[in-house]
Amino acid sequence: MAEATAEFLRSRGLDVRIASTGREGLEAAAEFQPEIVLCDIRLPDITGSDVALALRAMPGAKNAVIAIHSAMTESDLGKPSRQVRSAVNLFLPKPITEEKLDTLISLLKSQTKKTLTC
């Protein structure tokens, strides 16, 4: 799914990096300094919430727009902590459709060019 999402975002003119785990995403973010981060809530090593919190502490990514996506609904996920709510800008329920991505991009594209998908 990450590869298909990345290809779609590239077709819209964005520079995209992909990470398979939360730790890979954080390493990529340190180097890449993304302006938008799309991150699954469930990753093999750490949660998307943990990724978002760590990104907010990184100088090169602390101002990124962070969107968490999940097959679960927000109510299924439970109430996130205040800290997590402040770290995450958007919750995108799966499936992540081209329409949802186009809406996200159109809202942000004037100021963003680089995206990290994990």
Q: Where are the beta strands (DSSP E) in 25-112?
A: 36-40, 65-70, 90-93
Is the pLDDT higher at 44 or at 101? Answer: 44
**Cβ within 8 Å of residue 88, ≥6 positions away:** 49, 52, 66, 67, 68, 80
Please report the pLDDT score of residue 117 as a whole number.
62
- Higher confidence at residue 117 or residue 20? 20
Q: What pLDDT, on a 0 to 100 scale, did the predictor assign at position 21? A: 96
Asked if omega into 44 is within 30° of 0 (cis), the reply is no
- Spatial neighbors of 17 by CB under 8 A, at least 6 apart, are 6, 28, 32, 34, 114, 115, 116, 117
40 CB neighbour count, 10 Å cutoff = 22
- CATH of the domain spanning 2-117: 3.40.50.2300
Average pLDDT, the chain: 83
Strands (E), 54-110: 65-70, 90-93
Spans of all domains in the chain: 2-117
pLDDT at 112 > cutoff 70: no
Confidence check: pLDDT of 25 > 90: yes
What pLDDT does residue 27 have?
Answer: 95
- Res 69: pLDDT: 84
pLDDT, average across residues 3-9:
91
What pLDDT does residue 106 have? 75
Q: Is 68:41 a contact under the CB 8 Å cutoff? A: yes
